[in-house]
Amino acid sequence: MTGDREQQNMTQTDIAHLLADAADEVEIGIAPVQAVIQAGRRRRRARRWAVAAATAAVLAGSTGATLALAGLPGGDRQTGVAAGLSTAEARHVYRPQRTPLGTGTDRGSDWRVELTVWGAPRDRAEAAGQLTAMRKFGLTKTVLPPGPDGLVNRTSYYASLYLGDDRKPRVLVFDNVEKWDRMSGRDVSFGALPLAKEGATVSDRLAVGRVAGTAQQVKCTWKKDESTVDLPVAAAGSPDRWFLCLAPEGESVKAAVVIQ
């Protein structure tokens, strides 16, 4: 009798949580991206970034760098994907949250870097709609999974460069995660790439990266040991702060560290 009453009292919220727990046991990957990550101090949950160019992303820590393949799904299993009963629109499944990271003019062309965070679809139907929306947004197949299964229960984020009159973004760094692997302390994770159209053979003078939500200042150093300080910004949809540094023309970014 007790068991019968418990079953009758089960609410829709209880069922949603049970379904979330069941989905939590299924891991769906994303197509590997050919890129290289230079990894510094490894945390218990290793971060995995994909860099959309033939350059290195850097995880800065207290020890020397090692090499690891990039492009694999990052983070831990998602928790709370089914939390609440909000619509896909309210969860930003089809329209990402957008945060400007930096703007300027270089060699006569205006540029801006923007972070977009796409909410995690709860099922294949939502994922299919998100994949269509991402394609319309200008994201190409090189930074998207081959099908909607690679998006279910995963949050996707892209730091992208818009240069001149180009309407389609050039993706600088991106990832597709079941749960954010949050930065802490003086952790720094960044990618250094050219401020140019894709395929241009110029110096990696543009650095875009993540730091802990408590970080106040990031110092970027160039190859000639000159440096600048950037103030990281909070980004919608991300638990971390993001920063952007730009080296002078002909220079390349050598390092980025949290100084405050």
List the domain range (segments joined by +) for residue 133: 2-71+89-258
CA 164/CA 160 separation, integer angstroms: 13
Report if residue 79 sits inside a domain: no
CA 239/CA 221 separation, integer angstroms: 25
143 exposure class (CB count in 10 Å sphere: 0-12, 13-18, 19+): buried
Q: Mean pLDDT across the stretch 94-115?
A: 93
pLDDT band at 140 (very low <50, low <70, confident <90, very high): very high
CA 27/CA 45 separation, integer angstroms: 16
Report if residue 22 sits inside a domain: yes
Tens-place pLDDT, residues 169-222 = 889 999 999 999 899 999 999 998 899 877 677 889 999 999 999 999 999 999
Domain count along the chain: 1
What pTM was estimated for this model as a whole?
0.71
pLDDT band at 50 (very low <50, low <70, confident <90, very high): low
Report if residue 40 sits inside a domain: yes
CA 59/CA 50 separation, integer angstroms: 12
Please tell me the predicted confidence (pLDDT) of residue 49.
Answer: 52
Please tell me the predicted confidence (pLDDT) of residue 104.
Answer: 93
Report if residue 82 sits inside a domain: no
Report if residue 77 sits inside a domain: no
Report if residue 154 sits inside a domain: yes
Report if residue 206 sits inside a domain: yes
What's the Cα-to-Cα distance from 63 to each of 35, 87, 182, 208, rounded to whole Å?
A: 22, 44, 20, 21
CA 235/CA 179 separation, integer angstroms: 16
Report if residue 8 sits inside a domain: yes
CA-wise closest residue to 122 among 73, 180, 80, 74: 80
In 3-state terms, what secondary structure has residue 241? strand
In 3-state terms, what secondary structure has residue 249? coil
Please tell me the predicted confidence (pLDDT) of residue 73.
Answer: 35
